[in-house]
Amino acid sequence: MTYCVGMRLNAGLIFMSDTRTNAGVDNISTVKKMHTWEVPGDRTIMIMTAGNLATTQSVISLLEERAKAPEDRNPSILQAPSMFQIASEVGRTLREVIQNNASSGQKAASTFGATLLVGGQISGAPPRLFLIYPEGNFIEASDDTPFFQIGEAKYGKPILVRAHDPEMSFEDAVKLLIVSFDSTIKSNLSVGMPLDYVTYNADALEIEHAARIEADDPYYQVVSNGWGEALKLAFKQLPPFQFGD
């Protein structure tokens, strides 16, 4: 399992992913799930992956190969004219990999399933964020749905729903995502440190910040411990329940 979040802000886009992958409790390792492409002055693309590791690695490898291949081996996400077309190509590639791996030939066999988050910007168009399903179809983030989660989403969603603000700064967004990931990590052993994050300023056409947060990171520890204490304090400040009798 994994946990990834892509979020729209007025300032741009922010992405965060964990790095844990496991095939049983005795086979746990660290794998990067955040992938980026940049063409200075033209486009910036971010993709996060969740699901079967062989499937997601094949998809990323195919996208990389086609981006570097001669023109007769396109389509390439580095030449697509819009983020919508990029999402369409990523969806087709995901569906292609799943179909090739599934012995039954089904379009979306759960054994080989994966979901992806695709975001970025092409010069002359606004930043966009998409959620790609195993079938290859996708939906786009909007003002009503400003963030997407893939993987183990349920534990970290409440804080995002309550605290997300499109006007928030990237610094506050990173803090919010750390709380969301910390809640998930404490609730599910299949999600784990370190965490990777990327911030993208609208119209910059280049990634501003890309970094990894380790388990012993001082700020992560302050937020993790502080959030726990803040929850206890907030609980104590709520009015006491009284039985009707």
Pick the closest to residue 33 from 151, 136, 134, 204 (CA basis): 151
Structural domains counted in the chain: 1
Examine the pLDDT at 110 and tell me if it is beyond 60.
Answer: no
Examine the pLDDT at 69 and tell me if it is beyond 80.
Answer: no
Position 1 confidence tier, pLDDT thresholds 50, 70, 90: confident
In which domain, by residue range, is 156 found? 3-237
The stretch 182-200 carries a mean pLDDT of: 95
Say what the pTM is: 0.93
The stretch 146-164 carries a mean pLDDT of: 97
Examine the pLDDT at 114 and tell me if it is beyond 90.
Answer: yes
Coil vs helix vs strand at 210: strand
Position 21 confidence tier, pLDDT thresholds 50, 70, 90: confident
Q: Evaluate whether residue 159 is within a structural domain.
A: yes
Backbone angles phi, psi at 153, to 5 degrees: -90, -25
| Mean pLDDT estimate for the chain | 92
The stretch 178-196 carries a mean pLDDT of: 95
Q: Evaluate whether residue 244 is within a structural domain.
A: no
Position 108 confidence tier, pLDDT thresholds 50, 70, 90: very low
The stretch 226-231 carries a mean pLDDT of: 96
Strand ranges of the sheet holding 12-17, from the earlier edge strand across to the other edge? 147-151, 3-9, 12-17, 195-201, 209-213
Q: Evaluate whether residue 7 is within a structural domain.
A: yes
More confident site: 59 or 111: 59
**The pLDDT value given to residue 102:** 75
Q: Evaluate whether residue 32 is within a structural domain.
A: yes
**The pLDDT value given to residue 75:** 78
Q: Evaluate whether residue 243 is within a structural domain.
A: no
Neighbours of 213 (CB within 10 A): 19
Q: Evaluate whether residue 242 is within a structural domain.
A: no
Position 109 confidence tier, pLDDT thresholds 50, 70, 90: very low
Pick the closest to residue 127 from 41, 210, 204, 75 (CA basis): 204
**The pLDDT value given to residue 28:** 77
Q: What is the DSSP letter of 52?
A: -
Q: Where are the alpha helices (DSSP H) in 15-101?
A: 53-68, 83-101
Q: What is the CATH number of the domain that holds 197?
A: 3.60.20.10
